[in-house]
Homo-oligomer: A and B are copies of this chain.
């Protein structure tokens, strides 16, 4: 899966990588929901088909957003983990959720609205920072 860029615009180029239905959902699952194995992603509530999942994970690895590893001693289960390049997507995800929270409830009234949304509303920089920190701690643990 070789990547082509439509032009030299930084906005468009980001969307050449991220502009699709699944890429950022997978990254969200890793960052927010702690998912890390093929099975984790395949069983998530968004219900991605396994062939698509396989292709997207390959692509994400190719462009350096995730790395594929294994836990020492386990030869079976692959772990997919965010790289620095992947972790740097946190602010984009936070802005997406912020926009949903404030502008998508009319179209989609059942969007979750718990205490984590409250803390997002309260201070999104802190929210992003906390996500980042939590993920780095998880990485240190693996």
> Which residues of A are in contact with B by a Cβ distance under 8 Å?
3, 5-25, 28, 32, 45-47, 63-64, 84-85, 88-89, 91-93, 95-104, 106-108, 110-112, 117
Q: Which one of B11, B45, B110 lies within 8 Å of A25 (CB-CB)? A: B11
Query: Which 8 A/B pairs are nearest by Cβ-Cβ distance?
Result: A10-B100, A14-B96, A10-B97, A14-B100, A11-B28, A92-B95, A85-B103, A91-B95
**In the assembled complex, which residues on chain B have CB atoms less than 8 Å from the CB atom of A25?**
11-12, 15, 19
Apart from A5-B108, A14-B99, what are 9 other A-B pairs with CB-CB below 8 Å? A6-B45, A8-B110, A9-B46, A9-B112, A10-B101, A10-B117, A13-B111, A19-B23, A91-B98
> How long is the Cα–Cα vector from A10 to B36 in the complex, in angstroms?
20
- For residue A10, which residue of chain B has the nearest CB? B100
Asked if residues B96 and A11 are in contact (CB atoms below 8 Å), the reply is yes
**In the assembled complex, which residues on chain B have CB atoms less than 8 Å from the CB atom of A18?**
96
Q: Which one of B19, B46, B88 lies within 8 Å of A12 (CB-CB)? A: B46
Asked if residues B10 and A104 are in contact (CB atoms below 8 Å), the reply is yes
Give chain B nearest CB distance to A49 CB in angstroms: 13
Asked if residues B45 and A111 are in contact (CB atoms below 8 Å), the reply is no
